[in-house]
A = this chain, B = another copy of it.
Amino acid sequence: MKNASAYYEHSCVTCNARMHSVFSVIQGDHLSELNLHKSCTTYKKGQLIFSENGLPMGLFCVNSGKIKLSTTGPDGKEQILRLVKGGDILGYRALLSSDRYHCSAVALEDCSVCIVDKQYFLKLALEQKELCVAIFKKISEDLKHAEQHIVSLSQKNVRERMAEAILFFKATYGFDADGQTLAIQLSREEIADFVGTSTESAIRLLSEFNGDKIIELVGKKIKIVNIAKLEKTANLLY
């Protein structure tokens, strides 16, 4: 894979993704100031954006593309912890707690990402109350999701978790134009690393869901054909 990241120009003032991000509350002069403290980069599919144990140099703002956040377990197995899309911020936890990254971020498809200077972001977060509130909300949501994930891993079987995962992929990335096919393509291994199961079990479950007419497997893509049954299979609480 050709993996050279490329610099490109993109203004915060006109940025579309910003409007869906924590920075949507920033206006006027602060916005052009923000623009002066960031640079833009593109990443090719598969490329590493930052790495477990690394020190954060800035805050990543995803302009477009999909990114996985994952960490390596004690036996070297990957665990996918979060999935990120345009409008999301990335690497904020390590930044806000003066910690190293505990996840790696890898592009799931070609991405464009801005990097906001660390000091400037921290200053802005403390000065702009609306931004501060937005960050509180963002991190609180991530904590809530993580704790819901804990409950699922702890109390649901693999079949339920797989159904839940498919619904989560849908909630996060939505559908292709057909309104049925998931707009994200993950390998079976990646799905297993999110669900918390073996690759073979993940493959088997997807194949079963296919047989049960809950989903259809179109190449590597997943089409949801019976969402009611999928929700029932997921044994949802929330």
- List chain A positions with a Cβ less than 8 A from chain B: 71-75, 77, 79, 81, 93-94, 96-99, 102-103, 125-126, 129, 132-133, 135-137, 139-144, 146-151, 153-156, 160, 196, 235-237
Known contacts A93-B140, A146-B143; is-contact A73 B133 (Cβ 8 Å): no
User: Residue of B at shortest CB range from A155?
Assistant: B73
Known contacts A126-B133, A150-B149; is-contact A99 B155 (Cβ 8 Å): no
Best-buried of A71, A79, A142, A155 by chain B (most CB within 10 Å): A155
- In the complex, what residues of B have CB within 8 A of residue A136's CB? 96-97, 135, 139
Q: Are B79 and A154 in contact (CB under 8 A)?
A: yes
- In the complex, what residues of B have CB within 8 A of residue A137's CB? 96-98
User: Residue of B at shortest CB range from A135?
Assistant: B136
Q: Are A140 and B74 in contact (CB under 8 A)?
A: no
Across the interface, A151 reaches (CB within 8 A) one of B71, B96, B132, B160, namely: B71
